[in-house]
Chains A and B, each alone.
Chain A
């Protein structure tokens, strides 16, 4: 069956989720679990790196939607990076670029978080 996995890395105060493989309704619960773990650990600054993701369906976007309110109400954010054009196209078609910050490179997303916390301190 379809392969999908999520890896989690910490960069400073930021959790980076590395998605690999095929994200659809069948595999979406795995991503859901990964988000839940981060939220339960009060880690609300999250970058999702899509570089190894070969396919996303609207179910995958549904998972992002499910957590975004909770994350933002805790002063965090979910930022997205390293999308292939195929993956980006799905986000674009469903009107998601207006809801999420999407970066070409993970570093830029991470920097955005760090700059914000510097400004606050």
Chain B
């Protein structure tokens, strides 16, 4: 039997066989835990040691406890800073008197764990890990040959550990990369999808898929703001009254808020949200202006958002708010285009209803104008011959604007053109026009209407005024009468008190000036009305002018008066003057 303290040829062969076997196993493996386990078992089995630990390098001079054998699970520290690279086996006992506090700290842990020897795993003088071993269970001292064996094991192991560490690191990096790619794909998909829809509900639905699918958020509220008031537009907080008024303090939020041990709710709105489980508030900024926020609560699987997830949330919040803003702009534009389209339809209907040309009347001048405003009012005038010397003259103003007003106007014209040729007495004809319009329209539609029949032989003008601005009748030198005879406006009652008519006798250069309220009620920029008085004085001032010049004069005065203000109503006039 060989003496205990010597190393025989037999032992050397045995050592080599063990090393070869270990080396074969390690080189075929890529899993770090498997490799470390094998290193420990191989050392412990060969040297009859019952305790072992391996620390592996993780970061600069950082060593993590990664594999443990023969020592119960220990709570507490599992990583250490070691500002050294040992080039040979260290004895724990000697290290405890090291001048370096970090090394003493490590040695104390090793001692405490029952380790005696620390064997560095060196790769080109770099320590990739440390194998720690306890006492031999036989109580024998370690031989120098044992040390040589351990150093050989460590050398063989170092390469395998390094490769496994690299592979492990790659896996982590790969996974992180995969996550990032996944995140980018999601954002890309969301922005593409959001750009193809202008429906706010669809945009919010896409966002909620992303919150739930990408981040597993189950409780959240989305608020948006029109610049004044926060309004909940999506909520997954069933029992929470999420009225925006209650959290008005947050309407100007620009920075992300994450409630934590260090950052508690700072105002009552934050407290309110925190109380229902909101822990993260992401502002939604559109061109740097707060336009809403995501209030995020419970996630399945728990946990707060890490930095990358917060970045993702910011991107998501911004994409969402800009999609919502776009949707709003598109909606506004479409609405505006629809209105413009409607206006142009209304204008063309209205223009089509006005007489294409004013007939020439023997011994009379007739002038007419309709200048429509942006808004398109419902002004109307008409001239039609009912015999070779009798003409119907009419002017009216339809309630409302746009297409509905134009259609009502068409109704009036149809009624007038149907009834006028029947040659009924004027009051009765007016009553019939009224009942036709009444039965064809709703009660809120009405028309102020003035019409009359001019007889160019008898030089008479018989008229009915159904609630229209009284026209001016200029006769003699300075006489200016208002033509009021008539009755109720058209279209509000099916049966009205009988209309009354009045027959004027037209002399010399008598003139009748009819107009709509776009003339006398024209507004200046200072919101002053042109007024009946001003109009009456102006008309009297035109006493010596022709019908056409009078018309131009009035129009020019009104336009000068309203210069700079938006023309809010049509300017319509029909002027008749006897000229023989």
Contact surface of A with B, Cβ cutoff 8 Å: 24-26, 28-29, 57-66, 68-69, 89-90, 93-96, 98-99
Give 6 nearest A-B pairs by CB, closest first: A62-B213, A62-B209, A61-B213, A58-B213, A65-B212, A59-B209
17 contacts between A and B (CB under 8 A): A24-B193, A25-B209, A25-B210, A26-B193, A28-B209, A57-B213, A58-B209, A58-B210, A59-B186, A59-B206, A59-B209, A62-B213, A62-B214, A65-B213, A93-B182, A94-B214, A98-B301
B206 & A94 in contact (Cβ 8 Å cutoff): no
When the two chains form the complex, which single residue of B190, B209, B211 contacts A63, counting CB atoms closer than 8 Å? Answer: B209
When the two chains form their complex, are residues B193 and A25 in contact, meaning their CB atoms are under 8 A apart?
yes
How distant is the Cα of A84 from the Cα of B212 in the complex, in angstroms? 22
Q: Is A62 in contact with B182, judged by CB distance below 8 angstroms?
A: no
Contacts of A58 in B (CB 8 A): 182, 186, 209-210, 213-214
User: Which residues from A are CB-within-8-Å of B189?
Assistant: 24-25, 57, 59
* Complexed CA–CA distance, A65 and B213 (Å): 7
B216 touches A57 (CB 8 A): no
Q: B300-327: which residues lie under 8 A (CB-CB) from chain A?
A: 300-301
Q: B342 at the A/B interface (Cβ < 8 Å)?
A: no
Q: How far is the CA of A25 from the CA of B212 in the complex (A)?
A: 12
Q: What residues on A are CB-neighbors of B175 within 8 Å?
A: 93
- Answer yes or no: B484 CB below 8 A from chain A CBs: no
Residues of A near B205 (CB, < 8 A) are: 29
Residue of A28, A57, A63 near B185 (CB, 8 A) is A57
A98 CB, min distance to chain B CBs, angstroms = 6
* Given A25-B193, A99-B300; A59-B179 close (CB under 8 Å): no
The complex places the Cα of A89 from the Cα of B178 at a distance, in Å, of: 9
A62 pairs with B212, CB closer than 8 A: yes
Instruction: Identify whether the interface residues of B are mostly helix, strand, loop, or mixed.
Output: helix
A59 to chain B, nearest CB (A): 4
With A25-B189, A93-B178 in contact, do A99 and B210 touch (Cβ < 8 Å)? no
Known: A62-B211, A90-B182. A99 touches B193 (CB 8 A): no
Within 8 A of A (CB), among B532-549: none
Q: A57-B185, A59-B206 are in contact. Are A94 and B213 (CB under 8 A)?
A: yes
> What residue of chain B has the Cβ atom nearest to residue A66's Cβ?
B212
Q: Interface size on B (CB < 8 Å)?
A: 22
The smallest beta-carbon distance between B298 and chain A, in angstroms, is 11
Please provide the chain B residues from 124 to 153 with a CB less than 8 Å away from any CB of chain A in the complex: none
Question: How many angstroms between the C-alpha atoms of A63 and B205 in the bound complex?
Answer: 10
The CA of A90 and the CA of B213, in the complex, are separated in Å by 10
B218 within 8 A of A: yes
Complex CA–CA separation, A68 to B301 (angstroms): 13
Is B280 part of the binding interface, using a Cβ–Cβ cutoff of 8 Å? no
B209 to chain A, nearest CB (A): 3
Complex alpha-carbon distance, A24 and B211, angstroms = 14
Contact A61 B214 (CB under 8 A): yes
Q: How far is the CA of A69 from the CA of B218 in the complex (A)?
A: 9
Q: Once bound together, how far apart are the Cα atoms of A66 and B208, in whole Å?
A: 9
**CB-CB < 8 A to B301: which residues of A?**
95, 98-99
* Of the residues B178, B179, B210, contact of A62 by C-beta under 8 Å: B210
Q: In chain A, what residue has the closest Cβ to B303? A: A95
B212 CB to nearest A CB, Å: 4
Chain B residues with CB below 8 A from A66, complex form: 208-209, 212
Interface residues of B in 204-255 (CB under 8 A from A): 205-206, 208-214, 216, 218
Given contacts A57-B185, A69-B218, 5 further A-B contacts (CB under 8 A): A25-B206, A29-B205, A65-B212, A93-B179, A94-B213
Closest to B183 in A: A58
User: Closest Cβ of chain A: how far from B186's Cβ, in Å?
Assistant: 5
A17 to B6, CA, bound (A): 74
Which residue of chain B has the shortest Cβ distance to A60 in the bound complex? B213
Interface centre among A25, A65, A93, A99 (most CB of B within 10 A): A25
Closest to A24 in B: B189
Q: Name, among A28, A29, A59, A64, the residue most crowded by chain B CB atoms within 10 Å (CB to CB).
A: A59
Task: Tell me whether A95 and B216 are in contact (CB under 8 A).
Answer: yes
CA distance A81 to B186 in the complex (A): 23
How far is the CB of B181 from the nearest CB of chain A, in Å?
9
A66 to B193, CA, bound (A): 19
Bound CA–CA A33/B190 (angstroms) = 20
Task: State whether B300 touches A65 (Cβ < 8 A).
Answer: yes
Residues of chain A with a CB closer than 8 A to B178's CB: 89, 93
CB <8 Å contact, A65 and B182: no
Q: Within the complex, what minimum Cβ distance (angstroms) separates B263 from chain A?
A: 25
Chain A residues positioned under 8 Å from B208 (CB to CB) = 62, 66
List residues of chain A with CB within 8 A of the CB of B214: 58, 61-62, 94
B499-533 contacts to A (CB < 8 Å): none
Contact residue among A25, A59, A63, A65 (Cβ-Cβ distance under 8 Å from B216)? A65
Contact of A94 with B216 at beta-carbon distance under 8 Å, contacts A62-B208, A65-B300, A99-B301 already known:
yes
CA gap between A59 and B213 in the complex, in Å: 5
Q: Which of B186, B206, B213, B216 has the most CB of A within 10 A?
A: B213
